[in-house]
Homo-oligomer: A and B are copies of this chain.
Amino acid sequence: MKYNIGVVIWLTGLPCSGKTTLAIEIEKYFKYKNKSIQRLDGDIVRKTICNDLGFSKEDRDKNIQRIVYIAQMLSENGVNVVSAFVSPYREMREFAKSICAEVVEIYVKCDIEICRQRDIKGMYKKADMGEIDNFTGVQDPFEKPLNAEIIVNTGKESIEESLDKIVNYLSDKYEI
């Protein structure tokens, strides 16, 4: 590490684009390299710190806000963070950059049709049928990053290829 603070690796992308899969691989890589890492994703925070929140715009924003503050605390104490949330709104991703000192924004790009094929929980279908509201990609917009530091195309690349891109970038910039 060039810095005494942790890096916040912020994955953003459509539901089922592969964010959590990649976050788990990134987590494994950091652990293998004996570096600190805290993974933050829906499975973790929605059972704990955000267990009172739903998926309305207001609740999504609150969810991201809390995650950003947690990422700030962790990274200020030298802990690296990888976060995997749809985080569809540019404003909230900019908020993360304004609060945390070192954020690497990664756009997990994937064609929505491929996301739908991967959707083992059938969430896209439920959203189509109106059983889920505020679903990103169906009722709600996904605002693509304008200046992501890394773009991985999980519809075309293998997980290993996407991970390589990320790891190469991080090791060049932060000596991780």
Contacts and interface: CB of A to CB of B under 8 A. Distances in A.
A36 interface: yes
Contacts of A73: 38, 70, 74
A49 B74 contact: no
Contacts of A69: 48-49
Interface string A49-79: 1001000000000100110011001101111
A65 B85 CA distance: 22
A77 B6 CA distance: 11
A65 to B, nearest CB: 8
A78 B38 contact: no
Contacts of A48: 65-66, 69
Contact of A36 (B66, B70, B77): B77
19 contacts: A36-B77, A36-B78, A38-B73, A38-B76, A38-B77, A48-B69, A49-B66, A49-B69, A49-B70, A52-B62, A66-B66, A70-B70, A73-B74, A74-B74, A74-B77, A77-B77, A77-B79, A78-B79, A79-B79
